[in-house]
Amino acid sequence: MKKWVLAIGLPLIATFVLMQLVPYRVSNPPVKHEPTWNSPRTRELAVRACYDCHSNEVVTPWYGKVAPVSWWLAKHVGDGRASLNFSDWRGPGGEGAQEAAQTARDGSMPPSYYTWLGLHRTAKLSPAERNDLANGLLASLSR
């Protein structure tokens, strides 16, 4: 039994330690320009539910700094920022406002896995808050 632990456990631990040396983590570049929010309430809801993937103001939890979770998180945030970045808002364009409002309204954003363990409780919005956010995003991002 001891040989199995050494033969399997030590390589796994060594691999995990070596993974920490790969510096693929979320970074927060400076905020360039936010949308002109239609109300403080819309901004507050967007910060709660959207900013951890769709801004340059990501708050990374402790486990998000440990590989391989950090790698997944960096990719996820990169994809989120590529689709919509509230910290680098360039004005209305295309169907962005409609799409953002729809994903907030139907509850597909934030994704359920983001709130499922209760680690991001504040991001979980009530139906009324989702509706308020959707209406606010539509008003704010259409300007």
Domain boundaries, the chain: 38-141
Overall pTM surpassing 0.85 (yes/no): no
3-class SS at 33? Answer: strand
pLDDT of residue 49: 93
The span from the CA of 71 to the CA of 114, in Å, is 16
The span from the CA of 92 to the CA of 90, in Å, is 7
The span from the CA of 106 to the CA of 21, in Å, is 40
pLDDT, one tens digit per residue, over 4-45 is 777 888 888 888 888 888 877 899 999 999 999 999 999 999
